[in-house]
Amino acid sequence: MTITAAADGSALGNPGPNGWAWYIDDANWAAGGSPHGTNNQGELQAVLELLRATAGSDEKLVIECDSRYVIDSVTKWMPGWKRRGWRKADGGPVLNRELIEGIDEAMRGRDIRFEWVKGHAGHPLNEAADERANAAAKAYQQKQEPRRGPGFVGAGGAGAAVAASAPVAAGAATARADAETSADRGAASGQHPAASASVAAAAPLWAEMSDLLDGLDAPLADPIELRLTLSGPEHARLQDRAAAQGVSLEEALRRLI
C-alpha cells in the first residue's frame, strides 16, 4: 500500500505567527506552529512532522507539496550543501538548516516520493492541509491553542502509531527529544540506511512539565536521566514552546527544570 499525504505551511506576515499541517484523511492529520516564523519554516516543519508521525509504518509515502523550495531543498540542493559543510554555492549559510538537516537524517530507510501540486487549485489533500496550517497560524496570532489533530492512527483510523520519547534530565543531566525522523528520498527514489523513529498518536496534550519534576529541585550529587513517553501532539507542543522562546528543544526543557 501507499500512504498519500499533503504537507503545507502558513505564515501571517512572513515572518509572523506561523503554522504547519499534514493531512492524510480526517482520521489522520496533525497541525501546529509557533508565534513567530516564516512560511518556508512552516512548510519544512510540516514535512518533518509527517515523517515523524509515519515513521513506524512500512508503507510507501507520497508527499504532496506546493512548495518548490521544500522539494528542491531535499531533492536537488541538499547533496551540495552537505559537501560544502551546509554552505550554499555562494558560501553563505543554508537557511533553516536545523529543519533540513533533520529531514536529511530522517530520509534513511524510507520509500518516499515528493509530488508537486499547485496550491489553492482544488487538490483535496493540499486544501485540507492548507486550511489547517492557516488555522494554526491564526490561533498563534490570537494567542490561542491550535487544533492539533489526532495524529497518525493508520489506515481506516485503526491501529496505533509508534511511541516517541523525550528524555528529560534533572540537575546536570542532559535533556533531549528522542524522536528520530524519517523523510523523503526525493522525486527520483533513492534510499538511505534505515532510521528508527516513533511518534504516538492521539493522546491528551501534555499538562505542565513542572508537575512531573516536583521533588527534583534539590541539588544532585550525580546526573540522572528521566525518560518521559510523549504522544505526537505532546511532542509537537514541546517543539512549539521551544520555537516560541527561540531556543533548542533541549534548552527549553532545561528552562522548565
Write the single-letter amino acid at 128: A
State the number of CA atoms in the 13 A half-sphere of 19 facing the CB. 27
CA neighbor of 257 nearest in space, from 212, 222, 193:
212
Residue 86 CA to residue 80 CA, distance in Å, equals: 8
Q: Which residues are catalytic?
A: 8-9, 43, 66, 120, 130
Largest Cα separation within the chain, whole Å, is: 60
**Grid coordinates in use for 79?**
547533496
Q: What is the crossing angle of helices 39-53 and 232-245, to 10°?
A: 150
Angle between helices 39-53 and 97-106 (to 10 degrees): 20
